[in-house]
Structure 1
């Protein structure tokens, strides 16, 4: 994405889009990082061709997954967080450090694929000089920098939730070599300039600036929070549902509710709960397309789903049995049947059940976030791809009883470029996160959904 910032302008231009999904290898589920990096370099070269005046590059991605580096080499393709190996790591870690203690130290909700569980079963860790999360790995290949951006590092489970620094005592207890933890950097820090082959292929020695490299951290930068008690949902494959805080909440209640305290830009805390989001719908659509041997018209399906009258059964969107790729309609049907409810008989009704179940999970998470933080949540901001799903936004408003403001859709890219622009001083020397959000609010017009009586 190209971002244009300044003089009352905040605009994005899509340069390149490409698929990025899991691939099955002989030892499990991986990312095709080689192809991903090739697409990134090709996209950057095209961006520079379109706009020779690019000031810098910022990189964000999903969290928790990593690549291992030895010398200048990446040791194989990174594992995918949905690979089943992660379950073995949970027992190993909890034997050394029970979850209650982990939560007090790192503030993270239990997710079986958090990085420290992956490290516990990583056989190649001792062969590596350093382990780098995906955006840090891209930055390394582009610039040679070996660093960990702090917001994304907070998702590993190895960062002290109070200090924001590596918890080296915990790492040692888990038997992790100290060398795998690179120096931490903050959003806005300069990582370096393009080097070697990357510089030649892209065509300039562009600067790479650290941003909120966990995509949700960048997305939350661009949430135009309209009130002090607003909640947000960054909705795509996952729905990250929460509120922004100045300090972590690591109470027993927060741990029991499985809420997480992840790092945000400018030292803020993203107090949130991971809810399975549009993954459920996209996997169902993928199964139906395979059955039909043709593409499915998703807008038409959602329009038909909106026309479904009467109640539809709900299921737990966070049911662990729905986490892996596969025949999602069959697995959801089994969960519904197990509850004694009638399984929807049409695709439209099935899609409505999926959307309403996600919306109920969102509403529950918003209510819990308010209870745990003592906030009287008065509005929900939905950003990301889910902001385009009108049925989901309305269902979230109806089930929460709160107005929903949908947009911007490309919040992650906006937050990314705004942090870069601030690093260049384009908003003045003392620009705050609130100043960046004001730029977003003045440049976008969210769609409002009021709850139905």
Structure 2
């Protein structure tokens, strides 16, 4: 009998239910259901509609039942940093405000009035991102202190969904580290830091590792979806799942998890909390089996996604890539990590304003606009590789690009050109695949991470891009 494993992979713009299985020694993936997601304005804030999202999770599970493919286990992954506060009756307190909301403006100064920025990095190894949970909690403390006083528990978004599925409250390790409140040595909450911040320790749940079983679906959920199955924690932070699916059996590579964000880095067994890493804005997020993802957050495909939406989605991403390639001579570059691109009212105009402000030529066509975005991303990748090699004292042979962005061949080629490295692209469904691999490792389908990654390579392969520039 063939066993199926269900990954519920939810991103900022949509979610998918993907079933994984092994047939003749090869991994098989099948998309069962897809749904939309997005931030909506509520009481002046950008919020997630968690009720709708959980209904969509159940709809997708019902599709498995209809297809006659009941999963042996399932797990949910999402983005990081965002959370839910629950009262003593497990009712949601306030709104589930998203990371692109501006409520954290100025909250870094509030936090640094309690603990210096250098000290905070030394204690957690997490780069400063103004939307990190630590700043979001400070925003709640400053604007809605009654909510924190009434809170009995805090759950990251995927942990909340797992709680709704099973009735168990835990905080999965990889997502917990994005809060900037976890100690990289103890792999646990930094309770002394929480005390400094005046945050109630009791609202934080036990940190639990990917591959842990949360038991089975609750009776209510089983009745609703028409079947029962085990719930197994994946790396609930989508990047942690994506990195687990990198098809490499050595460590001589840099990875890019390419999606709305581009997460570029390496895996390490210990965090690097040196001041040099902080100044270079590198982070040490938790990974599978207590590994660390020593990486840099780069704005990623959010920019081209926004441009596409502003054009009423009339072009596919493949068409935008093709148009960019035809305008490859357009040489204007933006700093993709500039805060003006985090949540602008109009991305296309933000790019033009930046270029005008820096004395560069502004794009006159969609192709030139796309060329600017893709070249700017690739240039940033090149700079990040140089930083990684400088900070680690190592030279890496190749770059593995996984996730949806790995399908952008023009960007892959530009990345090879700007970095001077061989680029191996794929798989595109890395996040869902990594979610499934964690479940399969728990089930004993693979004896090790290396064996699982080798199976990914054997099943999906990679597309290789060579540097076209001389002297790189």
Aligned residue pairs total 446
TM-score (norm 2): 0.92
Residue equivalent to 2:148: 125
Q: Map residues 168-179 of structure 1 onto 2, 5 A cutoff.
A: 168-179=191-202
Residue equivalent to 1:426: 445
SS in 1 for 2:168: coil
SS in 2 for 1:310: coil
Q: Does 1:369 align with 2:392?
A: no
Which digits, 9 at most, give the CA deviation of each residue in 1:21-53, with x for residues without a partner?
A: 110111411011111111011101112332444
Residue equivalent to 1:88: 106
Residue equivalent to 1:438: 454
Q: Does 1:256 align with 2:273?
A: no
For the Cα contact (< 8 Å) 2:334–2:376, is it kept in 1? yes
Distance 1:77 1:192, change over 3 A: farther
SS in 1 for 2:86: strand
Q: Does 1:201 align with 2:219?
A: no
Residue equivalent to 2:8: none
Q: Does 1:108 align with 2:126?
A: yes
Q: Map residues 232-311 of structure 1 onto 2, 5 A cutoff.
A: 232-289=255-312, 295-311=314-330
For the Cα contact (< 8 Å) 1:231–1:380, is it kept in 2? yes
TM-score (norm 1): 0.96
* Counterparts of 2:432 and 2:23, CA distance in 1: 16
* Counterparts of 1:398 and 1:28, CA distance in 2: 41
- Runs of at least 4 residues off by over 4 Å: none
Q: Once the 2 structures are TM-superposed, how far is the Cα of residue 68 of structure 1 from its aligned partner?
A: 1.3
Which digits, 9 at most, give the CA deviation of each residue in 1:287-330, with x for residues without a partner?
A: 122xxxx7234322321211114242011000101101421011
Residue equivalent to 1:384: 403
Q: Does 1:18 align with 2:26?
A: no
Which of 326, 333, 338 does residue 357 from structure 2 map onto? 338
Q: Once the 2 structures are TM-superposed, how far is the Cα of residue 226 of structure 1 from its aligned partner?
A: 5.3
For the Cα contact (< 8 Å) 2:26–2:458, is it kept in 1? no
For the Cα contact (< 8 Å) 1:10–1:439, is it kept in 2? yes
* Counterparts of 1:91 and 1:51, CA distance in 2: 54
Residue equivalent to 2:19: 2
Q: Once the 2 structures are TM-superposed, how far is the Cα of residue 82 of structure 1 from its aligned partner?
A: 0.6
For the Cα contact (< 8 Å) 1:308–1:348, is it kept in 2? yes
* Counterparts of 1:52 and 1:338, CA distance in 2: 56
SS in 1 for 2:118: helix
Which of 68, 74, 85 does residue 57 from structure 1 map onto? 74
Residue equivalent to 1:160: 183
* Counterparts of 2:110 and 2:328, CA distance in 1: 49
For the Cα contact (< 8 Å) 1:397–1:451, is it kept in 2? yes
RMSD: 1.4
Q: Once the 2 structures are TM-superposed, how far is the Cα of residue 192 of structure 1 from its aligned partner?
A: 2.2
Which of 21, 33, 47 does residue 64 from structure 2 map onto? 47
| Alignment gaps of 5+ in structure 2 | 1-17
Q: Once the 2 structures are TM-superposed, how far is the Cα of residue 225 of structure 1 from its aligned partner?
A: 2.2
Q: Once the 2 structures are TM-superposed, how far is the Cα of residue 224 of structure 1 from its aligned partner?
A: 1.2
Which of 345, 348, 370 does residue 326 from structure 1 map onto? 345
* Counterparts of 1:300 and 1:151, CA distance in 2: 35
Which digits, 9 at most, give the CA deviation of each residue in 1:203-241, with x for residues without a partner?
A: 123211111111110111100125422000000000000
Q: Once the 2 structures are TM-superposed, how far is the Cα of residue 89 of structure 1 from its aligned partner?
A: 2.4
Q: Once the 2 structures are TM-superposed, how far is the Cα of residue 357 of structure 1 from its aligned partner?
A: 0.2
Q: Once the 2 structures are TM-superposed, how far is the Cα of residue 366 of structure 1 from its aligned partner?
A: 1.7
* Counterparts of 2:299 and 2:316, CA distance in 1: 22
SS in 2 for 1:205: coil
- Point out the structure with the larger strand share: 2
* Counterparts of 1:381 and 1:286, CA distance in 2: 28
* Counterparts of 1:205 and 1:271, CA distance in 2: 38
* Counterparts of 2:57 and 2:344, CA distance in 1: 25
Q: Does 1:452 align with 2:460?
A: no
* Counterparts of 2:333 and 2:36, CA distance in 1: 31
* Counterparts of 1:173 and 1:147, CA distance in 2: 23
Q: Once the 2 structures are TM-superposed, how far is the Cα of residue 6 of structure 1 from its aligned partner?
A: 5.8
Which digits, 9 at most, give the CA deviation of each residue in 1:169-224, with x for residues without a partner?
A: 10111011112210111111111221143222111232111111111101111001
Which of 238, 244, 258 does residue 215 from structure 1 map onto? 238
